[in-house]
Amino acid sequence: MLLTENALKVLEKRYFRKDENGIIIEDWSKMLTRVAFNIAAGDEEKAKRFFTLMDSGYFLPNSPTLMNAGGDLQQLSACFVLPIEDSMESIFETVKNAALIHKSGGGTGFSFSRLREANARVRSTNGVSSGPLSFLKVFNAATDAVKQGGTRRGANMAILNVDHPQILDFITCKENPAELTNFNISVGITEEFMQAVANDNEYNLISPHTGKVNKKLKARDVFSLIVQMAHKNGEPGIVFLDRINYANPTPELGKIESTNPCGEQPLLPYEACNLGSINLALLNKDGDIDWDKLKEVVYDSVDFLDAVIDVSRYPLPQIDAMSKANRKIGLGVMGWADLLFQLKIPYASEKAVDLGAKLMEFIDYYAKERSVELAKVRGHFPNFTKSIYSQGSLKREKNSQDWDHLKEKIKKEGIRNATLTTIAPTGTISMIADTSSGIEPQFSLAYIKNVMDGEKLIYVNKYFQKALEERGIFSKELVEEILASGSLSGIDVIPQDIKTIFQTAHEISPEWHIRMQAAFQKYTDNAVSKTINFSNSATVEDIRLSYELAYQLGCKGVTVYRDGSRDNQVLYLGTLATIEEGKEKKVAPRTRPEITQGITRRMETGCGHMYVTINSDSQGACEVFIQMGKVGGCASAQLEAIARLVSLALRSQIKIEPIIRQLKGIRCQSPMWNKGKMITSCGDAVGQALEQFLTLFSNGDINSVDFQVEGDKSDSDRPKGNGFALCPDCGNTIEHLEGCLICPSCGWSKC
């Protein structure tokens, strides 16, 4: 495979082996040789086949396999689910086990639903329980203390059932973005709850330790709170637990209560996920999919992933036993958006959705067919007789494949793997393969990336560049214009048919995101990792309708992200034109207009009367002036410094909420009560004044459109451009894809 400069940089930083001095001792060929021969367990012919499969670029396994195969660690799975029972012994045993998994490079999922609610009676001590949220913080702190494989923090998923007595506290537990930073959270949704939402009924909250009704809540109120929080910062997600368990291949072994951190792999306690992805972008053949080649790749990929199970060294004996008893694998895809570019099919179209379903049905069918053949030679998975397969009840809707024939074949001959398909995040392996991630649309068609010695290069999607070159319109100036505008829509020189085909994530409506997820889910054993992208201007109602559509179309879960909704991630707004050529990324504050309008609020502080003036321009709050009685000298200078820095931040498109959080609560030696509220310092007073300004607008008490703040504008007044987060490793912009933050330049990933 021809490696791009970007792919090589990712490989050298994260995958190639290094000696004790940090010197790279591996290249692409040596890495693949190490992996292929390790997975083949000494079978030379199989090792050559696995090497060719990966070197061709048609398939890559998940990162732990590429990193750890053939090494001392030999932990080849990405994610795990651990049980938590309602006892102190179980809770802290799971904390210990999670630490061992994180140390080996894995991520963990947990259900906290079995833990009794806060203040419930604990008979053994005659005390009361502190509840699941307090222990969630314990798990979060433990994750902080353990670096994953010596390189990064571990990722976690926390799920709480919607009928748990503390569900309202759970839904809002990440309202402060500084809390629970090592966890994604999702609410476990039941069919009963969704019916109660539809009928506007109450539903029961059940105490886990007694099984009795704790109280009742209006289902729509709870659903509305989930939606409001998802609109605010993207969490919690929702997981349709009843739907997941309907597809559980081994229901006799227990209910599935949790997933891995990105949500695509529902697992029983102590199961692990072993994943890999096919690069669809390489399967274009004369304007169609090369179905014969795809079948061949599916067969080889199933062989590879099944072999991983046997050579992997699991961090716990319980995981080793469960993984080998059910032999679950998850074959997925990447490069879907790039394949659509080549086929000239818009992502947001019926044709794309129909093709997605047909493609995934093909992969799922032939993955199972290959697993049956493996079962004939090597035996079916040990728990086969406890599975739905032994009863011939594989749940698949017939489209273009003969599922009835395959069901009977499986029932008669057995199958090697309890699950075979998963659409997983492919953040870094898709960078290595130089293709789009998973089934996500491309996040952007062009971006700037750092290379050696601080030089910056413009990266353009190769299929987009080819389309422009074929029309004779590709140029550096055009690419710079695309970077400046962040969209193709306003660029007249680009033909409309190219604009229609080369759609990016923020140009595709949430409805089409969800319809694509549902199309692939229809023929996926496990689940689909996908982010439903919303513009910053999306309303709470937009997200509500999307959640309801995902439920109606058969998705197993939903993750949404409203652009710019996470203060700790979005460090500046605007387009990439704000990056100065050849310099570090900087944000230029917008110019102050000649006339602004605002309000002045008097605050009582320990230093005297303070007057805080907050002015707005057409884009929102833009400046702050602070005056303090007759005080002068250092105090006056410091107040002026606060005002100038806050004004600079506001005009640089920093949202007002994080500024408030930074200022509120600062304490000095002279606190003062002001209209029933404690003013702890002059800085705290400024923070409270900004908060009151925000409240006035939210309540509609400020009538002028000039008093709008970022995050609360009408579409017509909203500044144009996407939101960007910055990578902590290389400083480039981060994409929010597949439920995780991923840097397209260096391969850094939050998960």
Q: What is the pLDDT of residues 556-579, one digit of tens each?
A: 999 999 887 864 433 223 343 443
Question: What CATH number should be reported for the domain holding residue 225?
Answer: 3.20.70.20
Sequence-separated (6 or more) residues with CB below 8 Å from residue 623: 592, 596, 598, 614, 615, 643, 647, 650, 651
Q: What is the pLDDT of residues 21-64, one digit of tens each?
A: 999 999 999 999 999 999 999 899 999 999 999 999 999 999 99
The more confidently predicted of residues 725 and 379 is 379
Q: What DSSP element (H or E) covers 145?
A: helix 132-145
Is there a contact between 741 and 735 (Cβ–Cβ < 8 Å)?
yes
Query: Are residues 65 and 19 both part of a single domain?
Result: yes
Burial pattern 616-645, b for ≥16 Cβ within 10 A else e, equals: bbebbbbbbbbbbeeeeeeeeeebeebbee
Write out the DSSP string of 62-89: -HHHHHHTTSSS-----EEEE---SSHH
Q: What is the pLDDT of residues 464-515, one digit of tens each?
A: 999 999 999 999 899 988 887 778 988 999 999 999 999 999 899 999 999 9
Per the domain annotation, does 382 fall within a domain?
yes
Q: What is the pLDDT of residues 391-442, one digit of tens each?
A: 998 889 888 899 999 999 999 999 999 999 999 989 899 999 999 999 999 9
Please report, rounded to a whole number, the percentage of residues in the chain having pLDDT higher than 70. 87
Is the pLDDT score of 676 beyond 80?
no
| Residue 260 is among the residues annotated as catalytic for this protein | yes
**Mean pLDDT estimate for the chain:** 87
| Residue 262 is among the residues annotated as catalytic for this protein | yes
Please report, rounded to a whole number, the percentage of residues in the chain having pLDDT higher than 90. 63
Is the pLDDT score of 585 beyond 60?
no
The more confidently predicted of residues 80 and 576 is 80
Query: Are residues 224 and 283 both part of a single domain?
Result: no
Q: Helix H segments across 249-349?
A: 291-311, 317-326, 336-343
- pLDDT category at 160 given cuts 50, 70, 90 is very high
pLDDT for 189 equals 98
Query: Are residues 310 and 354 both part of a single domain?
Result: yes
Query: Are residues 94 and 213 both part of a single domain?
Result: yes
**Six token digits for residue 206:** 């059940």
- Collapse the DSSP code of 723 into the 3-class scheme (helix H, G, I; strand E, B; otherwise coil) and give the result: strand
β 733-737/152-153 pair status: unpaired
Per the domain annotation, does 551 fall within a domain?
no
pTM over 0.75? The answer is: yes
Is the pLDDT score of 455 beyond 70?
no
**Six token digits for residue 205:** 């909250």
Q: How far from 649 is each of 139, 620, 622, 652, 654, CA to CA, in Å?
A: 35, 12, 8, 5, 5
β 275-279/59-61 pair status: antiparallel
pLDDT for 78 equals 86
pLDDT for 704 equals 36
User: From the CB of residue 109, how many other CB atoms can be counted at a distance below 10 Å?
Assistant: 30
Is the pLDDT score of 651 beyond 60?
yes
Give the number of domains in the chain.
Answer: 5
- pLDDT category at 681 given cuts 50, 70, 90 is confident
Q: Which entry of 117, 235, 257, 264 is annotated as an active-site residue?
A: 264
Burial pattern 235-244, b for ≥16 Cβ within 10 A else e, equals: bbbbbbbebb
Q: Which entry of 161, 260, 417, 722 is annotated as an active-site residue?
A: 260
- pLDDT category at 712 given cuts 50, 70, 90 is very low
Picking from 373, 394, 413, the residue at the C-terminal end of a domain is 413
Q: What DSSP element (H or E) covers 485?
A: helix 476-485
**Six token digits for residue 108:** 């963990």
- pLDDT category at 702 given cuts 50, 70, 90 is very low
CA 592 to chain centre: 37
Cα four-point dihedral sign 493, 498, 500, 504 = negative
| Residue 541 is among the residues annotated as catalytic for this protein | no
Per the domain annotation, does 26 fall within a domain?
yes
Mean per-residue pLDDT for 317-346?
Answer: 98
Query: Are residues 678 and 613 both part of a single domain?
Result: yes
Closest CA to 58 of 282, 276, 336: 282
Mean pLDDT lowest among 261-265, 388-392, 642-646, 734-738: 734-738
pLDDT for 706 equals 34
User: From the CB of residue 747, how many other CB atoms can be counted at a distance below 10 Å?
Assistant: 24
pLDDT for 728 equals 58
pLDDT for 711 equals 34
DSSP-derived letter for residue 419 is: -
pLDDT for 603 equals 84
Is the pLDDT score of 87 beyond 60?
yes
Query: Are residues 246 and 140 both part of a single domain?
Result: yes
Query: Are residues 254 and 215 both part of a single domain?
Result: yes
CA distance 422 to 530: 12
pLDDT for 103 equals 86
Mean per-residue pLDDT for 596-609?
Answer: 82
Is there a contact between 99 and 105 (Cβ–Cβ < 8 Å)?
no
pLDDT for 437 equals 95
Per the domain annotation, does 583 fall within a domain?
no
Closest CA to 327 of 418, 238, 410, 264: 418
Query: Are residues 285 and 394 both part of a single domain?
Result: yes
- pLDDT category at 450 given cuts 50, 70, 90 is low
Mean pLDDT lowest among 210-224, 286-300, 377-391, 578-592: 578-592
Per the domain annotation, does 510 fall within a domain?
no
- pLDDT category at 662 given cuts 50, 70, 90 is confident
Q: Which entry of 79, 262, 555, 682 is annotated as an active-site residue?
A: 262
Query: Are residues 624 and 730 both part of a single domain?
Result: no
- Collapse the DSSP code of 614 into the 3-class scheme (helix H, G, I; strand E, B; otherwise coil) and give the result: strand
CA distance 584 to 580: 7
Q: Helix H segments across 344-396?
A: 350-378
Query: Are residues 217 and 97 both part of a single domain?
Result: yes
Alpha carbons within 13 angstroms on the beta-carbon side of residue 429 total 26
pLDDT for 635 equals 75
Query: Are residues 300 and 242 both part of a single domain?
Result: no
Domain limits for position 450: 445-503
Torsion on CA atoms 350, 352, 358, 363, rounded to nearest 10: -150
Cα four-point dihedral sign 345, 347, 350, 351 = positive
- pLDDT category at 327 given cuts 50, 70, 90 is very high
CA distance 705 to 598: 11
Query: Are residues 121 and 159 both part of a single domain?
Result: yes
CA distance 521 to 554: 7
The more confidently predicted of residues 695 and 277 is 277
Mean pLDDT lowest among 35-49, 342-356, 550-564, 621-635: 621-635
Per the domain annotation, does 237 fall within a domain?
yes
Torsions phi, psi for 196 (to 5 deg): -65, -35
